[in-house]
Amino acid sequence: MSKPIALIFGSGPNVGYATVRTFLSNGYRVVQTSRSVKKLQDGAFTDDDDHKALECDVNDTASISRTFETVRAAWGQPSVIVYNAARLVKADPTDPFSSLSTSDFEATLRANVVGLFQAIKEAVVGFKALPEAERKAFFFTGNNLNELKPLPGFSTLGAGKSAAAYLVADADNAYQNKGYRFYYVDERFADGRAVVNEIDGQAHADYFYGLVKGTLTSPWWSTFVKGEGYVKFPWNR
């Protein structure tokens, strides 16, 4: 029996590497991607029969499609996808619309929204080809910025994450009855505050795996607390 496959976009030393370790240790083959393969190869992982590092630029939808094609050709269809890629151009919090260029704003949307759209499209193609019994999940690491409470200086990333949240919700609504789950993952402290710069990579990885295995459950807006799993807060629709 072939091993299930997890594919990570925008891997790195926090959420990405923890997710690689967690899924490898639970019998998955794992592909992690970044714009720099060398960066991933320096992350204590070597390419072998269960792990690959690939170059992928999420600003380019063709690069995303090529990544899926490469994984399918080598191992088969991925059943778990993590979209951890993001692009931020900081704005002057006192004058965001003068300090940001339109071209910078468009560039961030390509990574944060258009790239996600393409990854969801490719994921759905793959999910349809997998056995019905195989668990299928797509995770987007959102972490707070879809809330309609502007975070000063984060105009580009906030707009992108808000649009991304809609795409994730739309996908989960459309495909949940087929067994394909889509989650906007949002780590919180126990009191509901956003963790902001205290994102716990291993907590994310454990949460992803729990949702895939079915030991944890969550709606699409997946607010979770480390060690507790999904927590519904009063403001979480």
Dihedral pair phi/psi, residue 122, rounded to 5°: -70, -35
Local structure of 212: helix, strand or coil = helix
Q: For residue 48, which phi and psi values (nearest 5 degrees)? A: -150, -160
What tokens appear for 176 in the block?
Answer: 């949940």
Please tell me the distance from the alpha carbon of residue 21 to that of residue 113, in angstroms, as a whole number.
Answer: 27
Q: Which two tokens stand for residue 46?
A: 């070597």
Helix, strand, coil proportions of the chain in percent (round to 5)? Answer: 40, 20, 40
161 is catalytic: yes
* Six-digit token string for 106: 């468009």
Measured distance CA(183)–CA(169) in Å, rounded: 8
Catalytic residue among 161, 178, 226, 232: 161
Q: How far apart are CA 212 and CA 180, in angstroms?
A: 10
Which amino acids are annotated catalytic? 161
